[in-house]
Amino acid sequence: MNNLYYNNDLFDTKLIFSDPAQIEQFINNEIQEENDLTFDIIENFEQLIIPSYYSYLLEDVNISEINYFNDFLSRNFLPISEIDIDLQNQENLDKLENKTINKLINQIKYKKLPKEILIKYWLRIYSLQSEFFKNLNKSLRNSNNQAYFYYPFIKLCYEGIKKGFLKSNTQEIYRCSKISKNEFEQIKNKFNSNPNKNEFPKPIVFSRSFLSFTTDKEKAKLFRGSDSKTYCIMYIIQKINNIDDIENKVSNADTIFLIICDVLW
């Protein structure tokens, strides 16, 4: 995230390989998508510099950005045709909720609405089982240029948390997710090689995309699963009691069914 040579549009990082086997995988179209959660080993303080775009995402969203995002939703998530409905493939199933997206956008498009109301519409759209939330998280996860289109939504989420018109959760929350056995062993070995926990290197975990957590530990376990190449691990964000920590460290929106988090530790 903090490498100046990679954090720009000069290079396509997906075409930069450190292993000849990766080139063969790319040619054969076998490159897998990145995981939701990514681990980095931090060797020094310089690596903890926050990327410059992060401060932009913490700015208040403006009217132009709001109108742009509503137009973007209207243009890119069109209702599916009757003919396509009959084709029961996953892509078309994801588009079934586009009709609901358009209905919601038509209620708010080009209207002066309080941000407290607007964010509820946008989060409702995000919560639908549609291609919107899949495309959003895929773009963020892969750090492609499509992610820029979703910045107004992300900015309003942060603004809602900061100004208090989005309810956040401070209780302990849980999420189950897979991690490759190879990556897990590398992290464990690196961490165990340094008995002094107050010195570098340290592991840091971050997420480019939004993640779903729950306050129900047993419910989180329902999403566990593993195979011969992966482990299933549970991520736990501990309860926050300190008022200063609540203001500075809580970055989640407590929705009806789950907690949507942006994770950067």
Query: Structural domain boundaries of the chain?
Result: 1-26+36-49+167-265, 55-163
pLDDT digits (tens, 9 = 90+) for 5-63: 545 556 666 677 777 777 877 777 655 555 555 566 666 666 666 555 567 788 899 99
What the block records as the tokens of 253 is: 């929106």
- Between 80-89, 101-110, 112-121, the lowest mean confidence (pLDDT) is in 80-89
Cβ atoms 200, 43 nearer than 8 A = yes
Q: Is 111 left (phi over 0), alpha (psi -120 to 50) or beta?
A: beta
pLDDT band of residue 114 (cuts 50, 70, 90) is: very high
* Intra-chain end-to-end CA distance of the chain, in Å: 13
Is 69 a residue whose pLDDT tops 90?
yes
Q: What is the pLDDT of residue 264?
A: 39
What the block records as the tokens of 174 is: 């849980």
Global pTM exceeds 0.75:
no
Whole-number Å distance between alpha carbons of 189 and 196: 14
Whole-number Å distance between alpha carbons of 234 and 240: 18
Per cent of the chain over pLDDT 70 is 70
The mean pLDDT value of the chain amounts to: 78
Q: Tell me the H-state helices in the chain.
A: 20-27, 52-57, 63-76, 82-85, 90-94, 98-108, 115-127, 131-142, 151-163, 181-192, 217-221, 243-249
Q: What is the pLDDT of residue 64?
A: 93
Most trustworthy range by pLDDT among 80-94, 140-154, 238-252: 140-154
What the block records as the tokens of 4 is: 């100046």
pLDDT band of residue 88 (cuts 50, 70, 90) is: low
**Helix, strand or coil for residue 57?**
helix
Tokens 């054969």 locate to 28
Determine the average pLDDT of the residues in 76-80: 86
Q: What is the pLDDT of residue 129?
A: 84
- If you ran DSSP here, which 8-state letter would residue 180 be given? E
Find, among 82, 73, 153, the residue nearest to 115 by Cα.
153
Q: What is the pLDDT of residue 248?
A: 65
Is 165 a residue whose pLDDT tops 70?
yes
